[in-house]
Amino acid sequence: MGLRMATPWKHPTTGAYYLRERVPTDLIATVKGRKVVLTVDGQAKSVTLGETVKVSLGTKEPKRAVVLYRETSAVVQELWTQARQEVATGPVRLTGKQVQALSGLYYRGLVSAHEEDPGSADQWETLSGVAEELTDAPRQAQENALGEEADRLLQQAGLSADTPSRLRLLEEMDHAARKASDLLWMRSKGDYSPDPNASRYPELPPTAETHAPRDGETVTLTDLFDLSCYPSLDHPAGLSRGVLSCYPSLDHPAGLSRGVCRSGRAMSR
């Protein structure tokens, strides 16, 4: 009897097709509870891993589902390869250049998504103010706002960052968001002069893993952050749905949890 080919799973009620696969037994302890980003038919979807990985393929068409299943399953297999590498070698300490390069990918993504039609200047002033407040926010607030996008960037680069490196990346991504907001404010005013940050960010260098030291060899940044959350506050006014997509991880402005959303300040120029 031949081996049964893996196929999409059809939801018995909705008729929609899903990828549903078991997490390899040797990786369950490592990846269970971890959030990953899977791109299905061009759409990024956040998935929490358990003993299985399950994500909608976004179609009820059987032939289309098979194509999307194969594409998505290939990405999942890459995740298992990266997870096994992490188990074997430990997380990676990112170099300064890697952090800046990843932040640059984030910056260019924000700009390219909105540069053609940036909308009103007010929304970019508000977003810049929100990003400025995030700079001094507790670590968990930065994680809520940018963590999912940081995971996507690291995942695409085939990297598993240690805790200090991840904190640095979140901080630099926030700085990149402020720079992108400033540029898009200019664009909304009709100023399409050359991007002053176009050459600031380096290309992502080939992966050269620098493994994190063992416990006790360095002092991490964890204790420098207050893990408490701000009191709940409302959305900053004036942010369009298009601007909210700058931080796709959450449904609040700039991806911020309600704990760090405050009215934005006008940018100083």
- Pairwise CA distance, residues 150 & 159, whole Å: 11
- The Cα-based distances of 81 to 156, 168, 251 in angstroms read 13, 25, 31
Q: At 92, which amino acid appears?
A: V
Whether the pLDDT of residue 89 is over 90: the answer is no
pTM of the model: 0.61
133-143 confidence digits (pLDDT tens): 887 777 788 88
CB contact burial 62-77 (16+ within 10 A = b; e otherwise): eeebbebbeebbebbe
Among 146, 104, 127, 107, CA closest to 249: 146
- Pairwise CA distance, residues 244 & 240, whole Å: 7
DSSP state of 26: G
- Pairwise CA distance, residues 253 & 245, whole Å: 8
Between 3 and 127, the higher pLDDT residue? 127
Mean pLDDT along residues 5-17: 89
Using left for φ > 0, alpha for ψ between -120 and 50, and beta otherwise, residue 215 falls in beta
Give the distance from CA 68 to its chain's centroid. 22
Alpha-carbon Rg for the chain, nearest whole angstrom, is 20
φ/ψ of 186, rounded to 5, equals -60, -45
C-beta separation of 54 from 20 below 8 A: yes
100-123 confidence digits (pLDDT tens): 999 999 999 999 999 999 999 998
Kindly give, in sequence order, each residue whose CB lies less than 8 Å from that of residue 193, ignoring residues fewer than 6 positions away.
186
Q: At 71, which amino acid appears?
A: E
Using left for φ > 0, alpha for ψ between -120 and 50, and beta otherwise, residue 28 falls in alpha
191-218 confidence digits (pLDDT tens): 999 999 999 999 987 764 444 444 443 3
Q: What is the pLDDT of residue 152?
A: 84
